[in-house]
Amino acid sequence: MADSAAPVQTNQPHVALITGAAQGIGRAIALRLAEDGLDIVITDLKSQRMNLDGLADEVRAKGRRCLVLECDISQEEEVQRMMQAAEQEFNSLDVMVANAGRILVKPMVDATLADFDGIFNTNVRGTFLCLRAAAQAMIKQGRGGRIISASSVSGKKGMPFHSIYCASKSAIRSFTQALASELGSHGITVNAYAPGPVDTLLMHGSADEFAKHVGLPDGKTLIQSYQANAALPRIGTPEDIANMVSFLAGKDSAYITGQTITIDGGSWMD
């Protein structure tokens, strides 16, 4: 009798959903996956609607369909509506990129429960809701899939003044490993990307705040210090991260699962 095997996603995926897509890394991921030939669902907070609409125009200019949705991923009902709208529009979900997240730079001794809840509600609760919804949809479809989440180098190695953020991104790494073990029999891979500093507005704002705590004049000086200690002497670009997501979303990564892949120019080496 032939051995049973999990369904394997051998065809090029067709539809990707990206959270936190209005700017920065999420925006670059949406554009790269559109270039790869996928139709795109982009989501972010209501306050980001103008940015989402502009991104949708760029996706459509590449010849791909694009659905724009407003969603606070920390709210279960909104995540459910997001998934239902995506399935109704495209009748498919092949790739989920749980990219949305927040950062906090603050000494732990000064942090409040409101700080903790704010970060964990988005980074951990929100990612959990997105991963669960995507897993349920892909299992129902029965043809495999790709689930990809945003961790961080800070989820592999704790950083001063980032304690709550580090813990939240470490949780993503654990989600990735556990869910990969659960979904392998369905042909669904589960991976995460772990960026170091990336040239985005979010990063520059947090670098300025971090610099204050470590006695440096500004975030630019902090970034220069980071570059001097990395194997590749520059910070990342959103496109660097999007390139990895493109690989993890495609058929060539079919035998990779449960991994949190560092993308930081060789500052942190596993």
Catalytic residues: 165, 169
> Burial level of 257, CB count in 10 A (0-12/13-18/19+)?
buried
Q: Of all helices (H) and strands (E), which one includes residue 188?
A: strand 188-195
Cα–Cα nearest to 152, from 225, 101, 189? 101
In sequence order, the 6+-apart residues with CB closer than 8 A to the CB of 248 are: 146, 148, 189, 191, 193, 256, 261
Rounded Cα distance between 71 and 82, Å, is 7
Residue with tokens 């959903």: 17
How close are the terminal C-alpha atoms of the chain, in Å?
41
Are 151 and 108 contacting, i.e. CB atoms less than 8 angstroms apart?
A: no
Amino acid at 215: G
